[in-house]
Amino acid sequence: MKYTEKDTIVALATPLGSGAIAVVRLSGPRSLAIVNRLLDKAITTRDVRRAVFGELRSARDRELIDQVVVTYFQAPASYTGEDVVEISCHGNPLIVDRILQETVALGARVAEPGEFTFRAFWNQKLDLSQAEAVAEVIRSRTQQSLKHSLRHLEGRLSQKIEAVKAEVLDALSLLEISLDFSEEDVEVVTPEELQDKLVHTIEQIQALLRTYTYGRLLENGARLVIVGKPNVGKSSLLNVLLGKERAIVSDLPGTTRDYIEAGWQLDGVYIQAVDTAGVRQTRDRVESLGIRRTLELLKTSDVALAMFEGHRALDGDDEALMRIVREHQQTTRFILVLNKADLGVDPSVVSALAALPFPRVVLSVKKETGLTALKEAIKREMLKEGEMDNEEVVLTSARHRTVLEETLGALSGARRSLREGAPAEMVALDLRVALDRLGEITGETTPEDVLRHIFAHFCIGK
Ligand SMILES: Nc1nc2c(ncn2[C@@H]2O[C@H](COP(=O)(O)OP(=O)(O)OP(=O)(O)O)[C@@H](O)[C@H]2O)c(=O)[nH]1
Ligand SMILES: [Mg+2]
C-alpha cells in the first residue's frame, strides 16, 4: 500500500447487509468538499465533531439518497490524522451503494483493506503493533482474547518493546563512548557490566516469548477433533461440552454420518470442536470415505480425543482406532477417553490403552463425571510446554514472535562477543541489529512488503 496523501478514500465502515444504521466513512483532503456537494447544507469548520442531520442528494439530479447524520473530524484530530467525514445512513445496502457511487463520482477512491488504519499508522496516530491490535480487537472471539487485544491497542506491548529498546540503546551508547575513549585508557564501562545489562534485556525478551503459546491460542483458537467407533458417545460428549444439544445422540451405531463443528470456549480460548462419524473396520465405500474424512480432520486438529468404551473389552473397531492413533502419533496430540464409566471400567481396556503414549481420562458423559479432568487434559495438550499465565501482556502474533527471536539471537551474539573479548565494533553491530528488529514490531524499521501484508489482512473500511 502506497500512502498518497492527495487521495480521498471512502468505504463502508459497518458490516454489509441490513441494519439500523450503516456508516460510510471518507478520509483525505477532499472528504468535506465531496460530502458538501451531496448534503443539503454546508458543513464548515464550525461543525467539527458535531453530529449534523441533513438530506443527502445526488449531485446529478438532486434526488434524495437518504436522510443522514454527518460528523466531520478535522485533521489532524481524527482516526487517520486526515480530514474524516462519517455519514450515518439507514442500514440498507442499496443506500450504501448509492453513497459510494456518488462519492466516487465526485473524486473519492474506494479504500483498500485496512487503508484507514494504515493512514492512522502513517500519520503516527498509533504504532504498528497498535494498528495490528485494531484487527485483533475486531477478530477476538472470547472475552479473554478481547481483553488482551485491547491491552495491545492501548499500547502496552509497545511500551514493553520500547523499554527493551531503551536498554539496548543504553548498552550501545555506553559501548560507543568506550570506543571513543579507547585510546585514553579510561574505562567507561567494563565488558562484565555490559554483559549484565544484556542478560537483563535477554530475560525480558524470553519472558515475553514464553507468553506466546497462550497468546497464540487466544488469537487463533484451537481445534478439537473427537474420534471413536460408533456409539461410544462422541456426540454426547460434544453436547455436554457445549452445554446444548448440538448433535443428534441415539443408541443406534452410525447416528452421526458427517462431521459436525461447533464453537466452544475453554478458559477464554475459542475452540472449534468437531464431532466425527464413527470409525470402524468396513468394506462399505461410503463409510470408508467417511473414515478418510475423519483422518483428514485429525491432521487439522490441535488436540484429538480418541474415545473408547471403558466398560467392556476392546473389539475389532477399537483396535482399528488404536491403529489410527499409532499411525498419527507423531503429528497428532491425542487424549484417550474411556467413556461410560458409570457402567464400570474393564481393567483389560486400561491395560490395552496403556500401550499408547498418550494421557488417559476416564469419564461418564451420561453422569457428567470426569469432565473437569478432561478439560484440564485438553488445556495441557493445547498449551504444550507453555503456561496459561496471567501475564499482563501476552504475545499473540507470530510475526512479533519471529522478530523477538531474531532480537534474542542478536543479543546473545553480542553477549558471546563480549565474553570472548571480541572487538567492541562487533558487539555494537549485533546491538544495532537487535534495535532494528525491535523497531519492526513498533513499525519504525518494518520493510514495506511486511507492512503491505499486515494491512492486506484487515477488512475494508477499517
Ligand atoms: N451409560 C452410558 N451411556 C452413554 C454415555 N455416553 C453416551 N451414552 C449413550 O451411548 C449412545 C450413543 O451415544 P452417541 O453420543 O450418539 O454416540 P456416538 O459416538 O456419537 O455414535 P455415532 O454417531 O453412531 O458414531 C447413546 O444411547 C448415549 O446415550 C455414558 O457415559 N454412559
Ligand atoms: Mg455421533
Split at pLDDT 50, 70, 90, the class of 258 is confident
Average pLDDT, the chain: 93
| Ligand 1 lining (C-beta closer than 6 Å) | 228, 230-236, 249-251, 253-256, 277-278, 339-340, 342-343, 364-366
Ligand 1 closest atom vs CA 367: 31
Integer CA distances (angstroms), 355 to 149, 254, 270, 359, in order: 42, 28, 32, 11
Q: How far is the CA of 226 from the centre of ligand 2 (A)?
A: 10
pLDDT beyond 90 at 319: yes
Ligand 1 closest atom vs CA 256: 23
Please choose from 229, 231, 252, 363 the residue to mutate so as to test ligand 1's pocket, defined by most ligand atoms within 8 A of CB. 231
Ligand 1 closest atom vs CA 363: 31
pLDDT of residue 306: 98
Q: Whose CA is nearest to atom 24 of ligand 1?
A: 254
DSSP 8-class letter at 42: -
Split at pLDDT 50, 70, 90, the class of 2 is low
What angle do the packed helices 212-220 and 143-154 form, to 10 degrees?
A: 110
Q: What is the pLDDT of residues 23-77, one digit of tens each?
A: 999 999 999 999 999 999 999 999 999 999 999 999 999 999 999 999 999 999 9
Q: What is the pLDDT of residues 68-107, one digit of tens each?
A: 999 999 999 999 999 999 999 999 999 999 999 999 999 9
User: Which of the ligands is closest to the CA of residue 279?
Assistant: 1
The H-assigned helical ranges of 300-423 are 316-327, 347-353, 371-383, 398-419
Estimate to the nearest angstrom the gap between the alpha carbon of 256 and the chain centroid: 32
Are β-strands 19-27 and 222-228 bridged in parallel, bridged antiparallel, or unpaired? unpaired
Split at pLDDT 50, 70, 90, the class of 461 is confident
Between CA 95 and CA 85 the distance in angstroms is 17
Q: What is the pLDDT of residues 389-440, one digit of tens each?
A: 667 899 999 999 999 999 999 999 999 999 998 988 999 999 999 999 999 9
Q: How far is the CA of 250 from the centre of ligand 1 (A)?
A: 7
Q: Whose CA is nearest to atom 8 of ligand 1?
A: 233
Query: Counting Cβ atoms within 10 Å, is residue 46 exposed (0-12), middle (13-18) or buried (19+)?
Result: exposed
Between CA 263 and CA 272 the distance in angstroms is 5
pLDDT of residue 185: 64
Q: How far is the CA of 229 from the centre of ligand 2 (A)?
A: 9
Question: Cell digits for 90?
Answer: 439507514
User: Which of the ligands is closest to the CA of residue 228?
Assistant: 1
Split at pLDDT 50, 70, 90, the class of 363 is very high
Split at pLDDT 50, 70, 90, the class of 182 is low
Q: What are the structural domains of the chain?
A: 9-125 (3.30.1360.120), 134-211+394-442 (1.20.120.430), 218-383 (3.40.50.300)
pLDDT of residue 177: 83
pLDDT of residue 462: 86
pLDDT beyond 80 at 132: yes
**In the predicted model, what is the mean pLDDT of residues 12-31?**
96
For every residue of 78-114, DSSP letters joined together read SSSSS-EEEEEEEE-HHHHHHHHHHHHHTT-EEPPTT
Q: How far is the CA of 221 from the centre of ligand 1 (A)?
A: 27
Between CA 120 and CA 134 the distance in angstroms is 11
Ligand 1 closest atom vs CA 364: 31
